[in-house]
Amino acid sequence: MATNSFQSIYHNHHSLLNHHHHNHHIEIVPSTLSSTLFLKPTTTNTPNTISTSSLSSTKTFSISPTTSLSTPSSTQAISFDLLQQHLSTQNFREADEETRRLLIVLAGEQAQKRGYVFFSEAQFISEADLKAIDDLWRQHSNNKFGYSVQRKIYGKVSNDFTKFFIKVGWMKKLDTEVEQYNYRAFPNEFIWELNEDTPEGHLPLTNALRGTQLLKSILEHPAFKPTEEELLQAKAAGEDMGNGVTGLKGFMDGSKSKRVLKSDYSF
């Protein structure tokens, strides 16, 4: 997860998206601003503890060893205390940065050396660790933020990343006659407070500079596999809306998404 320019989702590709439901177009406008999408991960050393505490209660997360023999996280105790602290005070920008730092540590030695996570390394992050991070985000946002929240939205839009970005507010609608969207510039244009207008699933952010493969790997991680109840709800919704089941099935086998976007576009 590196610091890079906030670029258009379609790198060297067209920027027009047909909106079939209203006989008009949604146009993706490339940003002309030079800005970075995500903060550079900090190098703060974390204490060897695995408990997180809040003002009202104490919650302990167990850190499971990763499956990679080459990852030092399999022998390290990872603390979620700092993430808990930022989230409990609703310092969401710092919590977002700390979340990225944790993912880098959990992904292994190579990710730590380069300063960001390859999509292929997400599999080495244990379900327990991702769920612990997600639990903290949901706990301190009234279930409005978190990876599992984003996963549900991703499924509801049939795994379409353009629609997902619009839904979670990573793109903003422009005041133009034609319906147009542009990507928010980091950090000032993102929403760092929790209120009624904050889009569901807006945080945490995931860098898509090298494409959406990392985000896809996180959202489709076994930690966020749809429950039987969710699948039943999606099936019921699919009978009415015609598309509820397709998105969730895409999580199960990764092959039944109706629409597959090219992997080389980036922010």
What is the mean predicted confidence (pLDDT) over 227-243?
66
β pairing state of 16-19 and 24-28: antiparallel
- Residue 67 exposure: Cα atoms within 13 Å on the Cβ side: 9
List, in order of start, the domains of the chain with CATH numbers: 16-39+146-190+201-253 (1.10.10.1770), 51-139 (1.25.40.620)
Whether 250 shows a pLDDT value over 50: the answer reads no
- Long-range contacts: 61-67, Cβ < 8 Å, 24+? 61/128, 61/129, 61/132, 61/135, 62/128, 63/126, 63/128, 63/129, 63/132, 64/126, 64/127, 64/128, 64/129, 65/126, 66/106, 66/108, 66/124, 66/125, 66/126, 67/123, 67/124, 67/126
pLDDT at 38: 38
**Is the N-terminal amide bond of 204 cis, ω within 30° of 0?**
yes
What is the mean predicted confidence (pLDDT) over 116-126?
96
Q: What is the pLDDT of residues 2-21, one digit of tens each?
A: 444 333 333 433 333 344 44
- Long-range contacts: 237-244, Cβ < 8 Å, 24+? 243/158, 244/156
Q: How far apart are CA 214 and CA 113, in angstroms?
A: 17
What is the mean predicted confidence (pLDDT) over 21-31?
49
Whether 212 shows a pLDDT value over 80: the answer reads yes
Is 139:87 a contact under the CB 8 Å cutoff?
A: yes
Read off the pTM: 0.66
- Tracing tokens 């507010």 back to the chain, one arrives at 169
